[in-house]
Structure 1
Amino acid sequence: MKSSNYSKLSLGAQAVAAALVFSSPALYAADTKNETCDKDILAKCKPAQTDESIERIRVHGVQNSVYMFNNSADKRRMAALVDTPQVITVLTQDQIQESGNTDLKDILSAQAGVTLGTGENGNAFGDRYIIRGHEARSDVFVDGLRDPGMTTRESFATERVEITKGPSSTFAGRGSSGGAINSVTKKASVAYDFGRVDLGIGTDDHTRLTVDYNLPISDKVAVRLNGLAAEEDKPGREGITSERQGVQLSGVYEATDALSFTADGYYLDAKDVPDLGSYFDRDTRKPLEDIPVYAQDGDFLNSKVTTFTLRTEYELNDSITLYNATRVGHTENGYITTGMGGTTRADTDPTAPGASTLTLSTHQGNQDVDYVSTQFNLFWNTQALGFNHKLVFGLEYTDENVDNGIYSITNNNDGNCLTNGRGGVSESYCIIDGDGNTVDNIGQLINRSYVDGGSDAIYDIETVSAYMMDTVELTDQLALFFGFRQDSFDYSNNTTGRDGEVDYAYSDTMYNGNIGLVYDLSEDANIYANYSTATNINGGESDLGANCGYGGICGTQEQAAEADAEIVENLELGTKWMLFDDKMMFSASIFQITKSDVMESVGDSYSTLGTLNTGKNRVKGIEFGMVGNITDKLSIQFSAAKMDSEILESYNPANIGLVLSNFADESAYLQLRYELTESFVFGGSYTYQSEMYGGQPDTAAGYDSDNSRYSIVVPNYQVVDLFASYNATEDLTFRVNVGNILNEEYWTAAYRSGSFMYLGDARNAKLSMTYEF
């Protein structure tokens, strides 16, 4: 697909070359000795007021857990988090580990304002997040660079996770309607020498081994190794398994006091037997409970991720710093999974004609992603027009190529029942017999075999971006934040579907920005106002080809090129307070996100039929947060959101006034940690999510107008987890985690038709041992 576009490749090569050329003069800078704290006297080093120094001094043990960071890991955010006019939730390594969660999906879904969605027709590619009612599956970043592809994401090499709430396209580029997620990786440092091994065992055949070892080779060079080997069954669903193997190797070379290079290679191999859970019974208006495990032998969800990243940082002087990050990545994803739904046996069924039954279905797909990204930033602290400025000038180039494919599947066993369907009577695979009992050998009913079936959509988007941001001290009490960004892109999507092979291609330029004011009420409190925008392009979701109803391309070739982008605007007012001697931050905000020119599907969601730019929706709400230490012994991480969504405009008048799909009006997360003694710590977490309704992304939830009610309901739920840690020696710590201690059966997401609903984890327990050296 790229061979016909020489100019695109040339532009990309120039962008990468420019990033390297900009940093090359620094190679000739004078070599000066880097001053670091000797590891033997580390405890005597005076702690600076930076997150890095906190990390260096605290060796994340039971006595020194860190729940709060003062600054964002995104270098472009020049102010402390308390002085930033936007909600940014930071989940630290310690808080994540004590919660007992390891996959990014589980870490994020517990947070207020974040929900999960299901993929199109059982699409199992990676994780799907929804922030403040808007899709964010393509708005995941690693160390500030977009992480394309729907992959499984793990936390073994993660230092912290930052969730930005509200549109943030000045920083993120396209998308980010409701916010964005930035996973910050562990990096090598010459400042400390440590090793850590974590070994865990538990119920549901849980085993997990991680290694974290940082080794300074000299006062200029260090390496850091992170490794992972883990496997387990899904709690309460024996046979639904996950297996993880991963490694990250990071290295740093501090050539001079002014110049440093950091490089890392990351690899993750995730192999799951997936579970589509239950289904929604429209008669009882509830999900079916206590369902058997029906996954078929040979079901799989596999994901492989390989990335290489190089970062260069050079301080020209006390005022100007140059920074470049360049990444090359490749991911491979594939799945064949089994769904289950309710139906009726045909009158001609030989066993139980007319009886209600449960049948199995097949869902499948594969995806290969290749991408390159380079981001160059110039940071400049200066004075102009009588004001202090913290300026950021940036250039970014990305090229993402996604090859979406299918498998050719053969069902080698005959069906065991006859059922009614759209095409009439057909053979099916029923998991209950005529007497209502579960059939024997449920996992071998279908006996599938498969081969690669070729590509059905080849997606490519190449983007060149330029942006500028400024933080201005207007007075001692008033600060101004503003920025703007231009993204110019070339888009192509070669799809194969019902209408044969169609090549969609167009180019466009997007403009976004933000402006905010922060006014200090005192040394410890402020109020702020913020306005920001985001832009979504037609066909922006890379895994959906021509499925208009799910974020794929909408319209004919001519319509796709002429359609306007979806525009998102956000208004936010808030306040932030530093309490308890600056050990805890409290925040509160009210916001309104309005999305206009929304693409709407008028077909069956699997075609390109759509009305372009006819939809409009709004989300408004209030959010509270607390993070840090209430006392020296009591730590907290808390967030709660109360939101309201509404469809304001639609080609279908019946949609107006309905709520957004997969949207929870109320959600809350609370994690507390109490240090009872110097050696013993205990705590727990509480997660609440109100009910939500299934439907297509970014549009009205499915509605039954005949009965004046929403069609598919995900019930509200609450989950309580507990943990306790004990320092047996200075180097050895034990931790116990009990998840879902109340053993509540709950569901986290629903497909628009209700044909599958994801199940939450049942009660489980894990024992972890941490050895530090």
Structure 2
Amino acid sequence: MNHSPVRQPLRLRHLDTTPAASLQRSTLAMSVSAAMLLVPLAPLSALAQTAAAQGAATATATGPGGEQIRQLGEIVVLGKRVESNPNAEVGAPYKARTSGDSRHTRPLAETPSTITVLTKTAIDDAGVTDLKQILAAQPGITLGTGENGNAFGDRYIIRGQEARSDVFVDGLRDPGMSTRESFAVEQLEISKGPNSSFAGRGTAGGAINAITKQATLDHDFTRFSAGVGSDSQKRFTTDFNKGFGDNFALRVNALYGDEDVPDRKPVSRSRKGVAVSGLVEVNKDLAITLDYYGLRTSDKSPDLGAYLTGTLPYRVPAKDVPVYAQSSDFLKSDIDTVTARINWKLAPNMRLTSLTRYGTSNNAYVTTGASAGTRYDGATGAAYTTGYIDGGHSGWQDVDYFAHQSNLRLDTTLGGMKNEFIFGVEYTNHKVVSGSYGITNGAAANCRSVSTTSPNPIGANNAWCFTASNGTPVANLANLAGRSAIRAGKNQDWRVKTVALTAMDTIDLTERFSAFGGVRADRFDLDLVRFTAATGAVSGDYGYKDTLVNGHFGLTYKVAKDVIAYASASTAQDINGGEADSGTNSGYGGAVLYQGQIAGAKPESSTNLELGTKWNLLNNQLLATAALFQTTKKEVMEGANYDTIGTFNTGKNRVHGLEIGISGDFTDKFSMQAGAAVMKSKVLGSAVATNVGNPLSNFAEKSYSVQAKYQLTDAFSFGAINRYESSRCGGQPDTGAGFTNGMCSQPVPSFNVSDLFAAYRFNKKLDVRVNVLNVFNKDYYTAVYRSGSFLYKGDARAVRVTLNYEI
């Protein structure tokens, strides 16, 4: 949305306008409504006082003792639209001031770690909506393919480490591999580096935390957005917040979206969702919020993209690959969650925040991959080169989970030093039941593949090719195999129960030195039962218990008033069998078994060392950051292909580099969100000697993203986005990228893609935004499967026009 200066009434709800009362009341409302930290109130207070001094309506009344009481009428504040995000910097909507995680007790500019925050305003301006699209554009993050065709949801890799299970919503882990949307997101927080002291198991490269939109009593608004564009794109959203009296507020977000994938019709995406948040302030110290979130996503004929062709050193993406997805293919997620939040001020220096969530998600897919190579005419034996589809990939996943987290914050002074203690307890029970689909091909095969059991190229056709032996393309490629799928029985029941205890403290050692320390202990109980899908018989029953202890320490030095330097160290641990989508496919994060047992391995462990600086510039309107880091992961469990048998604790790897970032306003007219990462990765140890020295798979050594906006007039703004990733090399996770004779076996070319956007505000209620995505219509690829048979393709050029109306 275009945030040009407009008149906007700000409702001041409280008769007691003393600074102490105003701060206390506003702090409670803000922190309860989003379970977040304090929002900077001083700039709003100053604006309100200025408006009052310039002639706000006043009245007088007589009190019980005959004294005069001066009452203020409605105050009108001139400026940018009031942000619904309590964590955004006032006046600089591209910049977040605070984290939505209440365990970060200091502003982001004073936090000794790398945390990239994308505000809702920056996300809206960018014009992309799925979390996968948003996060893929961020430096230091690459995408992975659904390994072996595992198309469950979104798969992220942060600083070279798998993070597909390290996605959180408001600080609670979001289990299951689902497709995620941004319509109910207030801001996205990407924590870089091992993060188990905050997030628990996993998080070797970092974690992603989506902060959701919450009801607020601070101001009412109703916003509608209607978007249309190329590729039959349609998207409608509404964001409604209303206070009822001084004690209850309701917020409703709704979404309807549908589009064809640019240049890949009939591949399409559908998104429907609703998020409802109700806030009750029981009294000035206690507030309760109850949320419901529902999302239905459906990709019809989901596209696995292109594939690699040729041999080294001429192995390249295939050109002009037609849409080969079969008409019966699909990818869908149905998500429902209910969350209760309590924010209770127990004493002036003590606050309890509590979240309890129950959720379900049902994820399923049937997809088709493709490759190119030599095939045969079964009747004549004639050999020819063609593209051909594979036998298909499928899976379903029913997720059921419960989570509770309570954090007690205590601010006190000990030994003359200010301390901000956090004591937390968390319980989670995550259950994932999964299986696959039986795929049947109803159409006759049109070509022949030669196998070791039948080397004669003449015989019955047994494959489905894009072209006939004379080069004629197949008509109606979407129904080439006449494919259908029936859901089969379960093959796995995976469950992890965890109890965690956390203790953290942020302490001011001197006026310039501050320290942060935290420790978390997770006691987990893993059960993994495997079944024969056809009969339901148990084929394997594995489980074990263990305790993980992780910590984080940071030291900051205030170089100047708004400049800090910091040093930090943090750890993370992951468990054998911790990836629910991989089962006992040991090479992809599934359980490694030894003599029929899952136990016996040490947890994988990661340690991050970081030196950085943060500059809060231009009256807090711009934040610049830079960090040198090194992450070492050891005791890695290495898998052997899709087998259950692998090796315990034989791997070790290292990633080091430099990451810089900037977000906020350079001037009242010029805003920017930008970042860059330069990294190196190396396998230091492996059970397979040839892996040692190789870089990690799907790892981009260089990446950057720049999003800039200029407010040319009060009504018109425009901007551009440019993002770059260097080349990557495919391979099995944690065992290093695949190399042959010193050359990458499955290369993904580098890419540089640009977007444009512009907005025009007609009046204080109505504006329009135009986005042109991939403006130069470049072919680019985001990830490759280790065989080269899946090469995910980025979207082609697309135009989006969005009309925004606010009541």
TM-score, normalized by length of structure 2?
Answer: 0.88
8 A contact 1:643–1:666 mirrored in 2: yes
CA distance in 2, matches of 1:407, 1:93: 38
CA distance in 1, matches of 2:403, 2:175: 10
User: Do residues 502 (structure 1) and 540 (structure 2) align?
Assistant: yes
Code of the residue aligned with 1:553 in structure 2: it is A
Measured against aligned partners, the alpha-carbon deviations of 1:271-327 in whole angstroms (never above 9, x if no partner) come to: 102100011113231010211111111110011000000000100111100111000
Measured against aligned partners, the alpha-carbon deviations of 1:78-101 in whole angstroms (never above 9, x if no partner) come to: 111111110100100000000011
3-state SS, counterpart of residue 171 of structure 1? helix
3-state SS, counterpart of residue 254 of structure 1? strand
Unaligned runs of 5+ in 1: 1-32
CA distance in 2, matches of 1:423, 1:337: 27
CA distance in 1, matches of 2:396, 2:126: 32
User: Do residues 552 (structure 1) and 590 (structure 2) align?
Assistant: yes
* CA drift at 1:58: 3.4
Following superposition of structure 1 onto structure 2, how do residues 753-764 of structure 1 map, counting pairs within 5 Å?
A: 753-764=787-798
Q: In structure 2, which of residues 378, 389, 395 is the aligned counterpart of residue 360 of structure 1?
A: 389
Change (3 A) 1:559 1:282: farther
CA distance in 2, matches of 1:522, 1:34: 32
Change (3 A) 1:59 1:574: closer
* CA drift at 1:45: 5.3
Match of 2:501 in 1: 466
8 A contact 1:674–1:683 mirrored in 2: yes
Following superposition of structure 1 onto structure 2, how do residues 333-344 of structure 1 map, counting pairs within 5 Å?
A: 333-344=363-374
Percent sequence identity is: 46
3-state SS, counterpart of residue 95 of structure 1? helix
Q: In structure 2, which of residues 82, 92, 103 is the aligned counterpart of residue 57 of structure 1?
A: 82
CA distance in 2, matches of 1:135, 1:59: 33
Match of 2:303 in 1: 275
Change (3 A) 1:152 1:676: same
Match of 2:7 in 1: none
Measured against aligned partners, the alpha-carbon deviations of 1:550-589 in whole angstroms (never above 9, x if no partner) come to: 0000023655211111010000000111122221111110
Q: In structure 2, which of residues 531, 546, 554 is the aligned counterpart of residue 516 of structure 1?
A: 554
CA distance in 2, matches of 1:471, 1:423: 67
RMSD: 2.1
Change (3 A) 1:611 1:731: same
Change (3 A) 1:64 1:737: farther
3-state SS, counterpart of residue 235 of structure 1? coil
User: Do residues 632 (structure 1) and 659 (structure 2) align?
Assistant: no
Match of 1:695 in 2: 731
User: Do residues 115 (structure 1) and 151 (structure 2) align?
Assistant: no
Change (3 A) 1:574 1:422: farther
Greater Cα shift, 306-315 or 65-74: 65-74
8 A contact 1:370–1:400 mirrored in 2: yes
Q: In structure 2, which of residues 649, 653, 665 is the aligned counterpart of residue 613 of structure 1?
A: 649
Measured against aligned partners, the alpha-carbon deviations of 1:581-608 in whole angstroms (never above 9, x if no partner) come to: 221111110000000000112x3x2111
Match of 1:584 in 2: 622
3-state SS, counterpart of residue 360 of structure 2? strand
User: Do residues 529 (structure 1) and 554 (structure 2) align?
Assistant: no
User: Do residues 265 (structure 1) and 292 (structure 2) align?
Assistant: yes
Match of 2:329 in 1: 299
3-state SS, counterpart of residue 236 of structure 1? coil
CA distance in 2, matches of 1:116, 1:323: 34
CA distance in 1, matches of 2:45, 2:108: 25
* CA drift at 1:112: 0.2
Change (3 A) 1:728 1:525: same
Greater Cα radius of gyration, structure 1 or 2:
2
CA distance in 1, matches of 2:615, 2:267: 45
User: Do residues 732 (structure 1) and 760 (structure 2) align?
Assistant: no
Q: In structure 1, which of residues 91, 105, 118 is the aligned counterpart of residue 118 of structure 2?
A: 91
3-state SS, counterpart of residue 309 of structure 1? strand
Measured against aligned partners, the alpha-carbon deviations of 1:64-119 in whole angstroms (never above 9, x if no partner) come to: 77100111110000111111110100100000000011000000000000000011
CA distance in 2, matches of 1:43, 1:701: 51
CA distance in 2, matches of 1:738, 1:352: 49
User: Do residues 349 (structure 1) and 349 (structure 2) align?
Assistant: no
8 A contact 2:655–2:681 mirrored in 1: yes
Match of 2:272 in 1: 245
8 A contact 1:114–1:129 mirrored in 2: yes
8 A contact 2:669–2:712 mirrored in 1: yes
Match of 2:283 in 1: 256
CA distance in 2, matches of 1:350, 1:739: 47
8 A contact 1:352–1:434 mirrored in 2: no
Match of 1:105 in 2: 132
Match of 1:599 in 2: 637
8 A contact 1:279–1:340 mirrored in 2: yes
Match of 1:542 in 2: 580
Code of the residue aligned with 2:499 in structure 1: it is V
Measured against aligned partners, the alpha-carbon deviations of 1:397-429 in whole angstroms (never above 9, x if no partner) come to: 000000011112211112111112465466001
User: Do residues 405 (structure 1) and 450 (structure 2) align?
Assistant: no
Change (3 A) 1:418 1:468: same
Measured against aligned partners, the alpha-carbon deviations of 1:239-279 in whole angstroms (never above 9, x if no partner) come to: 11000110011100011110000111000000102100011
Code of the residue aligned with 2:530 in structure 1: it is T
Change (3 A) 1:766 1:137: same
* CA drift at 1:449: 2.2
Match of 1:20 in 2: none
CA distance in 1, matches of 2:328, 2:319: 25
CA distance in 2, matches of 1:469, 1:78: 10
3-state SS, counterpart of residue 587 of structure 2? helix
8 A contact 1:264–1:309 mirrored in 2: yes
CA distance in 1, matches of 2:414, 2:25: 33
User: Do residues 643 (structure 1) and 696 (structure 2) align?
Assistant: no
8 A contact 1:47–1:57 mirrored in 2: no
